[in-house]
Amino acid sequence: MDLTDKFKLLVGLRFDSVDQDILETKSAVLSSSSQSQVSPRIGLVYELNNAVTLYSSYSEGFLPLSGTDASGDPFGFEYSDSFEVGAKFSYQGITGTLALFDATKSNMLVADPVNVGFSAPIGKANSKGVELDLSTYITEDTKFNLSYAYIDASTANDIINADWGVPIKKGSPLVNVPKNNLNLTLSHKTALLGKELELGASYQYTSERLGDAADLTFNLPSYQLVGIFGQVNLTERIKLNISVNNIFDEEYAQSSYNALWVYPGAPTQFKMSLAYQF
C-alpha cells in the first residue's frame, strides 16, 4: 500500500498447518505430530529520489523436519527470522543494490552427540553481513556485473561436537562458510554468420573458511576460479550454450566434514546444452 508519495508498505501473513505421521519400520514405532504456524512479513520502502530507493524488511518462517530422534520423537520444526535493510540505486549508468542482513535459525538438526547415527534438533545459528551487487554497460554491447558478500556466520548456542565430544561455544564460526565471496562477470553481444552471439568470462574468489568445528585452527584455503561461456541463437527458438568452468584446472578444497574428510573441488568442466522455446 502507498502510505505517501514516497513511502510504501508491504504486510503479509502466511499460515501453515502440518500433520505428520512417521512409522519407524525397524522399531515399529508410529509417532504423530501436528502444528500450525503464522509467519509474518513486513517491509517498508522509501523513494528518496529517482536514483535511490531505501528499503527494510522483516520476516519469519518455519520448516517441518522429517524424521525422529533416538527416542522416536518427531523433530518438530526449524524456525527462522531475518531482518534486512538496504538501498537500490542507479547512477551514471551503474545500477546496484546494497544490503545489510541479520538472520537466525533455531531448532536446526545436528548430529546427536550421545546416540551415534541419530540427529537431534538442538542447533541454532546466526548469520549477518553485507551484500553488494553492481551492474553496468561498458559499451552498448558489453556488460559488467559484480557481486560481493561478506558473511559472519556463527553458532548461537553451546553444542557438543558429535565426532570428538568437544564442546563448541556460542559464537564459534560455522564450518564451510567463507567470510568473503566475490563474483565478476563480463559479457559481450555480437553476431557471427548472421546469428546473435554472446561471449563472456567469469571470475570467482572464495576466501579462507573453517574446515572443522572441533578444531578452530583447521581452515580450508582460499581459491580463485575462472570460466568462459558462450551462447548463440541458432534459430529464433533454439539456443546453444557452451561453458568451460575452472579453465586453469585449479586444485582446491570445496568443503569439508572435518580435518580428516575434505571434499575436493571439480577440475576443468566442459558443458554444452540446447534450449528450445515453444
Q: Is the pLDDT of residue 262 over 90?
A: yes
Q: Examine the domain organization and report whether 115 and 218 are in the same domain.
A: no
Q: Examine the domain organization and report whether 9 and 139 are in the same domain.
A: yes
Q: Examine the domain organization and report whether 3 and 130 are in the same domain.
A: yes
Higher pLDDT: 201 or 124? It is 201
* Residue partners of 237: CB distance under 8 A and separation at least 6: 276, 277, 278
Q: Examine the domain organization and report whether 17 and 91 are in the same domain.
A: yes
Q: Examine the domain organization and report whether 250 and 169 are in the same domain.
A: no
- Look up the domain containing 39 and give its range: 1-174
- From the centroid of its chain, how far is CA 128? 12
Beta strands in the chain (DSSP E): 7-24, 29-47, 52-68, 74-91, 94-111, 119-137, 142-155, 159-160, 167-168, 180-192, 195-206, 209-210, 219-220, 223-233, 238-245, 253-258, 261-264, 269-276
CATH number for the domain that contains residue 64 = 2.40.170.20
Q: Examine the domain organization and report whether 185 and 140 are in the same domain.
A: no
- Over residues 44-74, the pLDDT tens digits come to 999 999 999 999 999 999 888 877 777 777 7
Q: Examine the domain organization and report whether 92 and 192 are in the same domain.
A: no
User: How many folded domains does the chain comprise?
Assistant: 2
Q: Examine the domain organization and report whether 138 and 269 are in the same domain.
A: no
Residue with cell 520448516: 63
- Over residues 85-97, the pLDDT tens digits come to 999 999 989 999 9
Give the global pTM.
0.82
Give pLDDT, residue 15. Answer: 93
Q: Examine the domain organization and report whether 56 and 151 are in the same domain.
A: yes
Q: What percent of the chain has pLDDT over 70?
A: 94
Q: Examine the domain organization and report whether 49 and 66 are in the same domain.
A: yes
| Boundary-marking domain end, from 142, 174, 206 | 174
Give pLDDT, residue 109. Answer: 76
- The lowest-confidence range among 15-29, 49-63, 240-254 is 15-29
- What confidence category does residue 25 fall into, taking pLDDT thresholds of 50, 70 and 90? confident
| Boundary-marking domain end, from 174, 190, 206 | 174
- Over residues 170-200, the pLDDT tens digits come to 878 888 999 999 999 999 999 888 889 999 9
**Can you tell me the mean pLDDT for 109-119?**
69
Q: Examine the domain organization and report whether 209 and 184 are in the same domain.
A: yes
Q: CA of 28: how far to CAs of 23, 25, 70, 72, in Å? A: 6, 5, 14, 10
Instruction: Please give the DSSP secondary-structure letter assigned to residue 131.
Output: E
| Boundary-marking domain end, from 174, 202, 235 | 174
Q: Examine the domain organization and report whether 184 and 157 are in the same domain.
A: no
